[in-house]
Structure 1
Amino acid sequence: MDRPFAYSNKEFEAVRQKIRQLTGINLADSKDSMVYSRLSRRLRALGHTSFQQYLAFLDTNKEETEHFINALTTNLTSFFREAHHFEALATYLESHPGAITIWCAACSSGEEAYSIAMTCAEARGSLKHNVTILASDIDSKMLEKAQAGVFPIGHVEKLNLNRRKQFFHKGKGANSGFARVIPELRTHIRFFQENLLNSHYKVKPGVDIIFCRNVMIYFDKPTQEAILKRMLALLNPRGWYIAGHSENFSHLANLMRPMGKTIYQVV
């Protein structure tokens, strides 16, 4: 493959070390082409002629750190992905009629947070309810998309007709081809930036459920344990931690016990 910028294993290792330092993410050996593809766009945008030049710039320009992280974080999501978790959430809400706080800890472009909000509205039988949803992500660009609540119509059309009619406004004219989440649904969600590697989170203790799905796979086991200890400390007794289908925490039985399909409870 023709690469206009010189790129060797040395540059790839430097990028891996930097993203791990900033976020705790461990990039696999297989991600070298992905790193080149995504960061070469930043090189072009900034007028740099080499990866070495860009990495030196990154070390001295804090503003570029956010672009660097945004470029290398993966944001694969969809509405009601891993649907069994939302079915379990609906059951939980039916048996817990009091006020509930849910933290969606890697909300990406917002589909997961809005899926939680739709489930809450359906379970409570009203758009006016007592569930608070906190939605965070490390990627500022994804958070902007999430806050806007505007999605390609093709993504929304995968939902059933009742959900499309109840929770979305279809765009017209210049907005044709898109759908916007209704304001009444968005009012229950507070979006904010959070790095899970931080020693303290903006979220306060008293959370009932944490959605953090397919995120821990990017961290090594010591980092997983450190992050989970901080997150689980925020949960109420018997609170839920909902993981992704590719994650397994059997090595952390001292912290959490399985109680369903990738659903855990604080020990």
Structure 2
Amino acid sequence: MSATVSREGNASVAGVNGPVLGDADFRFLREFVLQHCGIALSEQKRQLVQGRLLRRLRALNMKDFGSYCDLLRRDPDGEMGDLASAISTNVTSFFRESHHYDLLEKTLIPQWLAHKRRQGDRLRIWSAGCSTGEEPYALAMVLAEALEKHGAPFDAKILATDLSPQALQGAREGVYSLDKMDGISAERRRRWFLRGEGSYEGLACIHPRLRELVTIQPLNLLHDWPMAGLFDAIFCRNVVIYFDKPTKERLFSRYAKQLEPEGYLFLGHSESMHGLSDDFDLVGRTVYRKRAS
């Protein structure tokens, strides 16, 4: 093992498995990630960050972490998505936390459709942190089935956003391995998936009808939101678990402003809004309803 000392006294160490993340570079990365992604990295995360970012160094043909930090200083927006993908864990599945979908299917969507049909309004759901698409496409299945029962055309859409370019690419492709089908009923598998052929042999492809309902866009939750209209429901599950308290408070406040009166916010099973917002009431398991103004 050899080491040299770079700017700010940062040790740029070359180990047997590649460069080692030194103090100054890790300090910069922690501050950068907190500022731009809202993710608080503890000292205990250093080895995890080093291991995951080594792949980015190899992909970019960089020899050390100092070079990668320089890239972030020069072009923070250009590398943001790949950095966030590297340091966060994208674990998702179809119909994860099924009680959320049950509430939508049996109660909320029928109520919304009945009310909005009289008002001539639209229905909008946002999957914030959509990862590789399992969540928004599961939402689309429930919505498409409700629209069929409703029996008439209706302006209903799902917005799916994420910071990770790799995750968004997977969502846009809408192609999944068969082991991803475990949470989907046999009836829905037959109805909403196409059998892959050729290079997609052994895979399942999302039905075009679901693609029509889902709009997929890149978005950093900490930056400006371009959406003009309000949402009936926002799914932000297993996302805020990475954020520090001030970031959570700001995000929940922004969600409240982006929701219709008495709109719903769905969080992940290990997440809570307790002590972080006065804009919502807890109405179910990690289900929050915006308070009437």
Which TM-score tier does this pair reach, normalised by the shorter chain? over 0.9
Match of residue 138 from structure 2: 115
Match of residue 172 from structure 1: 197
Percent pairwise identity: 36
More displaced 10-residue stretch of structure 1: 49-58 or 3-12: 3-12
SS of the aligned residue for 2:225 comes to coil
Q: 1:247 aligns with which of 271, 275, 279?
A: 271
More displaced 10-residue stretch of structure 1: 233-242 or 44-53: 44-53
Return the offset for 1:38.
Answer: 1.5
Match of residue 89 from structure 2: 74
Match of residue 184 from structure 2: 159
In structure 2, distance between residues paired with 1:122 and 1:232: 28
In structure 1, distance between residues paired with 2:43 and 2:96: 27
State the Cα deviation string for residues 176-213 of structure 1 (Å, max 9, x = none): 12111011111011111111111x31222321101011
The structure 1 segments of at least 4 consecutive aligned residues displaced by more than 6 Å after TM superposition are none
In structure 2, distance between residues paired with 1:253 and 1:41: 38
Return the offset for 1:51.
Answer: 1.1
Return the offset for 1:218.
Answer: 1.2
CA contact (8 A) 2:95 2:183 kept: no
RMSD value over aligned CA atoms? 2.0
In structure 2, distance between residues paired with 1:230 and 1:71: 26
Match of residue 89 from structure 1: 104
CA contact (8 A) 1:147 1:191 kept: yes
Return the offset for 1:43.
Answer: 1.5
SS of the aligned residue for 2:18 comes to coil
State the Cα deviation string for residues 119-159 of structure 1 (Å, max 9, x = none): 11223336965421111111122111101111112212542
SS of the aligned residue for 2:132 comes to coil
Structure 1: tracts of 5 or more residues without a match: none
Match of residue 9 from structure 2: none
Q: 1:64 aligns with which of 41, 60, 79?
A: 79
In structure 2, distance between residues paired with 1:115 and 1:136: 15
SS of the aligned residue for 2:204 comes to strand
Are residues 152 and 116 of structure 1, via their aligned partners in 2, closer, same or farther at CA, if it must alter by over 3 Å? Answer: same
In structure 1, distance between residues paired with 2:58 and 2:172: 28
SS of the aligned residue for 1:252 comes to coil
TM-score of the superposed pair, with normalisation by structure 1: 0.92
Give the greater-gyration-radius structure (CA).
Answer: 2
1:222 equivalent in alignment to 2:246:
yes
Query: Partner amino acid for 1:178?
Result: L
CA contact (8 A) 1:133 1:190 kept: yes
Query: Partner amino acid for 2:124?
Result: T
TM-score of the superposed pair, with normalisation by structure 2: 0.84
Are residues 123 and 253 of structure 1, via their aligned partners in 2, closer, same or farther at CA, if it must alter by over 3 Å? Answer: same
Give the length in aligned residue pairs. 266
Return the offset for 1:219.
Answer: 1.2
Are residues 65 and 265 of structure 1, via their aligned partners in 2, closer, same or farther at CA, if it must alter by over 3 Å? Answer: closer
